[in-house]
Structure 1
Amino acid sequence: MTQVQDRTGAAGSAPGPRGGLRRFWRTLVDGPLIHSYYALAGSVVLLTGIGIMMVLSASAVESISAQESAYSYFTKQATYAGLGIVLMFGLSFVPTSWYRRGATGLLVLGVLLLLLVFTGLGQEINGNRNWIVVGGQSFQPSEAAKLAVSLWLAMMLARQGDAVREWRQALWPSALGIGIPALLVVLGDDVGTALVFALIYAAALFFAGAPLRLFAVAAAGAVALGAVAVAAAPHRVDRITGWLFGECGATDACYQPTRGSTPWPRAAGGGWAWASRGSSTTTCPRRTTTTSSPSSARSWGCWARC
């Protein structure tokens, strides 16, 4: 029996606007893009919105103390976030061939920006030299380098194809592309950011299909190198001991990260319930640079961290 289809090719679909909306919804929910484009874009927008709210909660009192509007820091961050989201959606329409051709150039640019940290433009904060200041505006080159490294790794590992399943091919030349930026970050005494580079590399190798035994060996090596890096710097030892044993005074370098990782119930004022924005009982010396997880618990209760 012959089955009649409408122009869209959907058998038995309702004509008119309602039928079009149904088809769009099915494509959105059941189509393959839900597992990549829409899921990723939605997650970015949601996390950005939550982060901006945490910035408002953490910076309001500090802004008022500086004789500024309670929303001054929030407005600046929200503006940058909005521009970033618009740029993100705009870049999603750029052909992937452009990214393949420009990935190596972006990686080189990222390395050059990391080198600027060691010039007169560099700024050191709490033992970490990972900022550059130009015209009164500060910038963290490692953030741009993370994006460049992610793009370059995707291009390189995709080009290698199934050869990635052999561990030598998986590590060369990708290890060189990730190793140089990570080394520059370590030389700036920012081991935490170097660990982020390592996680980016591990994720890229995993999704490219690298052998799993490679991850076991790499994890053991990363733990050993991390222990050496921590032991080589007194301020890192102070941070670790302060985190493990709680022995950290208000004037010590470990006070900021220790307060920033306050246990959930204590950060939320002793409970799991809503505490309202700005009504927390726990704070940090540099409130706008702490992690969003304790900030959300301090303001909205521990349930907000789940």
Structure 2
Amino acid sequence: MPVTSTETPPQAPSADPPERRGLAARVRLGAVFAPVSSEFLLIASTALLLTGFGLVMILSATSATATAAGQQPYDAVLKQAVFAVIGIPLMFIASRLPLSFWKKAAWPGLIAASALQLLVLTPLGVENDGNRNWISIGGLQAQPAEFLKLALALWLGTVLFRKQALLGKWRHALIPALPVTILVIGTDLAGGDLGTAMILFVVALAGLFFSGVKLRILLVPLTLSAAAVGFLALNSSNRMARIMSFLNPDTTACYYNECYQSLHGIWGLAGGGILGLGLGNSKEKYDWLPAAANDYIFAIIGEELGLVGCLVVLALFTIFAIGAFHIVRRSNDMFVRVVAGAIGVWVIGQALLNIGVVLRLFPVLGVPLPFVSQGGTSLISVLLASGVLLSFARNLPPKPAARRTAAPDDADPIA
């Protein structure tokens, strides 16, 4: 009679041996500290340098008038520093998120940003200089339109990525991209902010361009936007006054009205010369130049740090552009190309527009200098956009290894 053994067979170990666990831990730790691409370093370093430089210039531009008003000289820079402390970690957290996250977040992000922008039409909205584009909650003001720029870029990337095989036909290239973009810009124009609306249009145009849409198809949104800008300018006395003052060669006639801010901005730049008056020695910031820490902070940079300081700022934005457009060039993913191109055009285009206003190349439009101007919402949105670029930079395909060219000494000798 067979005997059945009651002994249980030996069980497999429940965990890997200690040496395997140690190896896995080293692999995971190595992934965290793995070398990053040059694009990652370019974007992250310029974002941090411009943010820190902006804090210094905000302190310089606001401390004198705050002291004269009986306030603490560090109030403005401390408020901006709080947003920097929030935005910089958000940038690096965003850099760790996968591409799939940004694709899934596109539609919810655009809906949430549009709903937030519509709050300006409620009792929470705050009006300033004819524009109602701020909300105030518990004494804290925010400009929701800043988040529309990033949300629109991500949404366009997702939609155009899904339709990439059909973009040769105009109806697939423009629908739903054009109608949704018009609705998004409409939520901003409801508050009267034409400057931000122009930036949103540039973001949409850049997204279509980097998706590979035929250039003749882009004539449709270009024509519509030009007609819309002309209509909105003609139907606003405030906008027409700013445009006419910009075109008026006799600036003495409008010095105390529409030309006042732009003239003091150009005088501040001219007064700095090549090396500037020195950090903290601006004269225009003593209540001569309105919005010295906001839209016209570049004038204070030119006055205190001179042409050299202005060139340094332009060089940093150039490096940021190189990092962003290198991502466009190296990526094989249309979603990455569209979003990275749109963000790059947004940041660099807005910087050039702000500097052009200070130089009196454009009429006053009320757009901040990215990373540098005072404004917490603007700073957080542009840092978060930089985080999206950093996430793309982490997922770039490796560069092809350079082929080694044989030196003459390496060649086989001829018998």
The answer as to 2:271 corresponding to 1:280 is no
The equivalences for 1:123-272 within 5 A come to 123-245=126-248, 246=251, 247-250=253-256, 252=257, 255-256=260-261, 258-259=262-263, 262-263=265-266, 266-269=268-271, 271-272=273-274
Amino acid at match of 2:278: S
Higher mean alpha-carbon deviation, 183-192 vs 38-47, is at: 38-47
CA contact (8 A) 1:273 1:303 kept: yes
Task: Give the percent of matched residue pairs that are identical in Structure 1 and Structure 2.
Answer: 32
Paired with 2:277 and 2:76, the residues of 1 have a C-alpha distance of 22
Q: Tell me, what secondary structure is at the counterpart of 2:293?
A: helix
Aligned match for 2:38, one of 17, 34, 39: 34
| Cα displacement (A) at 1:267 | 2.2
Give the equivalent residue in structure 2 for 1:15: none
| Cα displacement (A) at 1:73 | 0.9
Q: Tell me, what secondary structure is at the counterpart of 1:67?
A: coil
Q: Tell me, what secondary structure is at the counterpart of 1:289?
A: coil
Amino acid at match of 1:279: N
Paired with 1:165 and 1:244, the residues of 2 have a C-alpha distance of 41
Aligned residue pairs: how many? 273
After superposition, the C-alpha distances for 1:134-173 in whole angstroms (9 at most, x for unaligned) are 1111111101222211221122222222433433222111
Q: Tell me, what secondary structure is at the counterpart of 1:124?
A: strand
Amino acid at match of 1:248: C
* Greater relative contact order structure (CA < 8 Å, 6+ sep): 2
Q: Tell me, what secondary structure is at the counterpart of 1:286?
A: coil
| Cα displacement (A) at 1:303 | 2.8
Q: Tell me, what secondary structure is at the counterpart of 1:117?
A: helix
Aligned pair in 2 of structure 1 residues 96, 287: CA closer, same or farther (>3 Å)?
Answer: same
Q: Tell me, what secondary structure is at the counterpart of 1:132?
A: strand
Give the equivalent residue in structure 1 for 2:95: 92
After superposition, the C-alpha distances for 1:234-273 in whole angstroms (9 at most, x for unaligned) are 00111112223234344x36644x247x33x652415222
The TM-score normalised by the length of structure 1 is 0.81
Paired with 1:97 and 1:236, the residues of 2 have a C-alpha distance of 42
Aligned pair in 2 of structure 1 residues 163, 91: CA closer, same or farther (>3 Å)?
Answer: same
Give the equivalent residue in structure 2 for 1:109: 112
| Cα displacement (A) at 1:41 | 2.3
Q: Tell me, what secondary structure is at the counterpart of 2:132?
A: strand
Unaligned residue ranges in structure 2 (runs of 5+): 1-33, 312-415
Higher mean alpha-carbon deviation, 174-183 vs 38-47, is at: 38-47
Give the equivalent residue in structure 2 for 1:292: 297
Aligned pair in 2 of structure 1 residues 210, 184: CA closer, same or farther (>3 Å)?
Answer: same
CA contact (8 A) 1:153 1:174 kept: yes
Unaligned residue ranges in structure 1 (runs of 5+): 1-23
Paired with 2:56 and 2:183, the residues of 1 have a C-alpha distance of 35
Aligned pair in 2 of structure 1 residues 55, 259: CA closer, same or farther (>3 Å)?
Answer: farther
Paired with 1:150 and 1:115, the residues of 2 have a C-alpha distance of 19
Aligned CA-pair RMSD: 2.3
Paired with 1:38 and 1:156, the residues of 2 have a C-alpha distance of 29
Q: Which runs of 4+ in 1 moved over 6 A?
A: none
CA contact (8 A) 2:255 2:263 kept: no
Paired with 2:174 and 2:255, the residues of 1 have a C-alpha distance of 43
Paired with 2:160 and 2:217, the residues of 1 have a C-alpha distance of 15
Paired with 2:225 and 2:259, the residues of 1 have a C-alpha distance of 23
CA contact (8 A) 2:268 2:299 kept: no
Give the equivalent residue in structure 2 for 1:17: none
CA contact (8 A) 2:291 2:297 kept: no
The TM-score normalised by the length of structure 2 is 0.61
Paired with 1:211 and 1:113, the residues of 2 have a C-alpha distance of 34
After superposition, the C-alpha distances for 1:211-233 in whole angstroms (9 at most, x for unaligned) are 12233453344233212211110
